[in-house]
Amino acid sequence: MKHRTTLHAGRYLGFYEVNGWEFVSRQNASAVVVLIAVNDAQQLLLVEQFRPALQQSVIELPAGLVGDMDDPNEDILLAAQRELLEETGYFSEELEFLLSCPTSSGLTDEIISFIRARKLQRRGPGGGDASENITVHEIPVTEVDQWLSEHIRAGKPVDPKIYTALYWLEKQTP
């Protein structure tokens, strides 16, 4: 990377400039994982949580930061396992890396990794850690499109990464 000028450094985000281009970067994590998890009842696990930047709740895939638990070298699959259990209450016996891609290449250097979670076991209530209030939705895979459309019509923000998950679920063999 060319010379990076720090414009501002916060607790969790830094604001930088390279050759006149401003962008943000995470200060407290090495990566981000997003989970595509379907339980034995063939339900896609989605989460809903309040997002202060939007001032409303957003429907999303379970996701989280890698390396934010005082371990900058945390393994990406272990972080995925931790986040899935924390947010949904499910443990996965089989995690598969699918792809990594930018989240918003004009705004941030953040790269997310999609992880497929299989062989799920319910081990807890989910809902996030002490700083979160997450609602878990278990939606039959065959009804996800309709369920999402109803929520969008009602004005609920839906993270578009869910549609990437639906693509992978359609294209990949069980």
Mean pLDDT by 10 residues, the chain (174 residues): 88 93 91 96 97 96 89 90 96 96 93 96 88 93 97 97 93 66
pLDDT of residue 174: 53
Residue 8, sorted as left (phi over 0), alpha (psi -120 to 50) or beta, turns out to be: beta
How many Å apart are CA 172 and CA 169, to the nearest integer?
A: 6
pLDDT of residue 1: 56
pLDDT of residue 122: 95
29-171 — its CATH code? 3.90.79.10
pLDDT of residue 173: 53
- According to DSSP H, which parts of 38-160 are helical? 76-88, 144-153
128 Cβ contact partners less than 8 Å away, ≥ 6 residues apart = 49, 86, 87, 134
